[in-house]
């Protein structure tokens, strides 16, 4: 299973793709898509949309795991994340990918074993789980890998529940 995790944002959109096979999980790609803050918002969204579509075409993931906007005190940040998230969700669905969404607490629980884990702890656990030589940076990229790992952990249970409901 190829899972692309996406930590959405207009300025910085983290991505991390993992392959899970035969009990092993390894990182395939990791990085950040960025747009110039000086550009008008419509141009930034168009550039981000093109980059996301290119990423999906290049990696061809089975699943796209996206952070669900759960709570934001900063309305401006929430709007920006929501706009980027919408682009990712639409592009992933259009590419025929299964789309999963997880809250930050669900991701932290799956990766670090504690829903209140800090960013550094999540980064170290991502490093450990994927056998990386270094902690993945920047934080947006590490969060995206954590989102992918969250889906890898959750998928077997989700499949069993879906089967039981048939």
3-class DSSP string for the chain: CEEEEEECCCCEEEEEEEEEECCEEEEEEEEEEECCCCCCHHHHHHHHHHHHHHHHHHHCCCEEEEECCCCCCCHHHHHHHHHHHHHHHHHHHHCCCEEEEECHHHHHHHHHCCCCCCHHHHHHHHHHHHCCCCCCCCHHHHHHHHHHHHHHHHHHHHHHHHHHCC
Closest by Cα among 90, 18, 98 to 62? 98
Active-site positions? 7, 67, 140
Q: Contact, 155 vs 63, CB < 8 A?
A: yes
């Amino acid at each position: 299973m190829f899972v692309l995790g996406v930590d959405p944002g207009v300025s910085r959109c983290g991505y991390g793709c993992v392959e899970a096979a035969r009990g092993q999980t390894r990182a395939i790609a990791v990085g950040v898509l960025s747009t110039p803050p000086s550009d008008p918002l419509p141009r930034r969204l168009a550039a981000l949309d093109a980059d996301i579509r290119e990423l999906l075409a290049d990696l061809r993931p089975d699943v796209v795991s996206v952070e669900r906007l759960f709570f934001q005190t900063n309305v401006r940040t929430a709007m920006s994340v929501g706009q980027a998230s919408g682009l990712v969700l639409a592009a992933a669905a259009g590419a025929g990918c299964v789309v999963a969404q997880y809250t930050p607490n669900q991701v932290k629980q799956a990766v670090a074993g504690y829903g209140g884990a800090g960013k550094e702890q999540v980064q170290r656990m991502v490093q450990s789980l994927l056998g990386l030589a270094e902690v993945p940076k920047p934080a947006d990229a590490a969060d995206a890998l954590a989102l992918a790992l969250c889906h890898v952990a959750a998928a077997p249970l989700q499949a069993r529940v879906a089967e039981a409901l048939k």
